[in-house]
Amino acid sequence: MNLSIRRLRITGAAAALWLAGACASPPPPHVTEGDLAGRWTSGACHTVLTVDVDHTFSVKNFPTEYSMESDAVTQQISGKGRWYLFDDTKDVASHTLDLKHDHTVYSLDFAQKQNRLILEWTVGDPDNGFNCSFSRTD
């Protein structure tokens, strides 16, 4: 194989790897229970979530169902429940804040935006649903 073709392939592969890394989201942050207590809001979902240190939470207008046909949230909950920090130490990406309301568990993912912790909730299909990003407001 010609040396310049081999160099071109190696350079192309390195550029592809660099671009893939540059476009990737930052890894989810390591979150402790102490990081979660407080008031969280999502402007897009018009939702307020209050997480208390005693593992209880209250929520107002938390969307639970979404219709792609009407492009609208079709069901919301308001009320109180218990929260849990799901912490599978084998896979950092699986850390979630689990909200148990009545008999249903809603799992919110952790992410970072401008070096701040945010909570992500997708209503409906993960690929075509409606996304709510919660920021801490206290």
Per-residue pLDDT reduced to its tens digit, 9-26: 444 444 443 444 444 455
Judge whether 83 lies within some domain. Answer: yes
Judge whether 22 lies within some domain. Answer: no
Which amino acid type is present at position 112? Q
- Please tell me the distance from the alpha carbon of residue 135 to that of residue 133, in angstroms, as a whole number: 7
99 pLDDT more than 70: yes
User: Looking up tokens 């568990």, which residue turns up?
Assistant: 105
Task: Using alpha carbons, list the distances in angstroms from residue 66 to 23, 62, 91, 112.
Answer: 28, 12, 29, 25
User: Looking up tokens 């801490």, which residue turns up?
Assistant: 136
Number of domains in the chain: 1
Judge whether 49 lies within some domain. Answer: yes
Percent of the chain at pLDDT > 70 equals 73
Q: So what's the pLDDT on residue 7?
A: 43
**Secondary structure (DSSP) of 82-124:** EEEEE--TT-GGG-EEEEEETTEEEEEEEEEETTEEEEEEEES
Q: So what's the pLDDT on residue 26?
A: 57
Q: Which of 132, 128, 130 is nearest to 60 (CA)?
A: 132
Domain CATH for 54: 2.40.128
Judge whether 24 lies within some domain. Answer: no
Average pLDDT, the chain: 81
73: its two tokens:
């949230």
Per-residue pLDDT reduced to its tens digit, 43-68: 999 999 999 999 999 999 999 999 98
* Domain range for 129: 33-136
Three-state DSSP state, 5: helix
Judge whether 107 lies within some domain. Answer: yes
Task: Using alpha carbons, list the distances in angstroms from residue 17 to 25, 48, 101.
Answer: 14, 40, 43
- Please tell me the distance from the alpha carbon of residue 85 to that of residue 109, in angstroms, as a whole number: 11
